[in-house]
Amino acid sequence: MNETVLTLTSTQENLWKGAIIGGFVIVLAVAALLTILVVEVRTIDRRVVKVRDSLKAAAHNTADSVLIGQTAEGVEAVLAEGLEHHLFLGRVLGKVRS
Amino acid sequence: MNTYVLLSVIDIVLLIAGLAIYLFIVGGQLAGVAEKLEECSDLVRQISKNAEPIVAGVSHINRTGGIVAGALPLLYGMAEGIVVGVTPRAEEPAERPPNVPAAGRRRSRLHEAVGYNPDATRKAPAHAAK
């Protein structure tokens, strides 16, 4: 068996060395950028929790809005009663004047 | 040369491992955010459902309240008319006498001011005169 030995020129060695150093730099840059990404996503997570709490409070506040319909019916009843009073006062006023 | 190969393999493994770890972390965080946002979406739907009767109900209340507020002056005008009609009045005399002061005739104090007081000298006791 013939054994093949690869030899590199100094230029090739320098290029390889540069590629390795560049690769490490890129790994560090990717780590830094992904750390920033993780921190930002954590901030988003915290703020989404705040939004959820605000929405829960808003849902709790508007839970009794069904009562507005009942209040409208009550005001309608007040109007009907006021009309009865109007008719009664009209009758009595006519008698008092006569 | 073997050193360069080893360093290159380490470089590539570090890159892939770092990407995998970070993507795992970010994936977990984003899954949590998505879950919370789904909860938010449900809450928004609930709030929208709760807010539906507000506009119709409040406009109904405003309309009816406006009618009531407009009718109230008419009602208390009629009530005042009834009160005026029902309240008894004192009968007026057939012939009106001339106006006199309520306290009778006024007494002048000009004489007393100058020392002339005939009523006092007339009513003075007998031992005082002595």
Interchain contact A28–B (C-beta under 8 A):
no
For the segment B44-81, what is each residue's pLDDT rounded down to a tens digit? Answer: 999 999 999 899 899 999 999 999 988 888 888 888 88
Nearest CB among A42, A68, A82 relative to B29 is that of A42
What residues contact residue B43 under an 8 Å CB cut-off, 6+ apart? A52, A55, A56, A58, A59
Residue B8, φ and ψ in degrees, nearest 5: -65, -40
Q: What is the pLDDT of residues A61-88, one digit of tens each?
A: 999 988 998 999 999 999 999 889 888 8
- Contact between chains at A75 and B46 (C-beta distance less than 8 A): no
Question: What ipTM is given for this predicted complex?
Answer: 0.71
- pLDDT tens sequence across B60-70: 999 999 999 88
CA B123, distance to chain mean position in Å, is 72
Query: Global pTM?
Result: 0.62
Q: Which of A56-60, B100-104, B123-127 has the lowest mean pLDDT?
A: B123-127
Are B63 and A74 contacting, i.e. CB atoms less than 8 angstroms apart? no
**Distance between CA atoms of residues B75 and A83, nearest Å:** 9
Q: Which of A23, A40, A19, A30 is nearest to B20 (CA)?
A: A30
Query: Which residues in B lie closer than 8 A to residue A20 (C-beta atoms)?
Result: 4, 7-8, 11
Q: What SS3 string covers A4-34?
A: CCCCCCHHHHHHHHHHHHHHHHHHHHHHHHH
Mutate to test the interface with B, among A6, A34, A60, A84 (most CBs of B within 10 A): A34
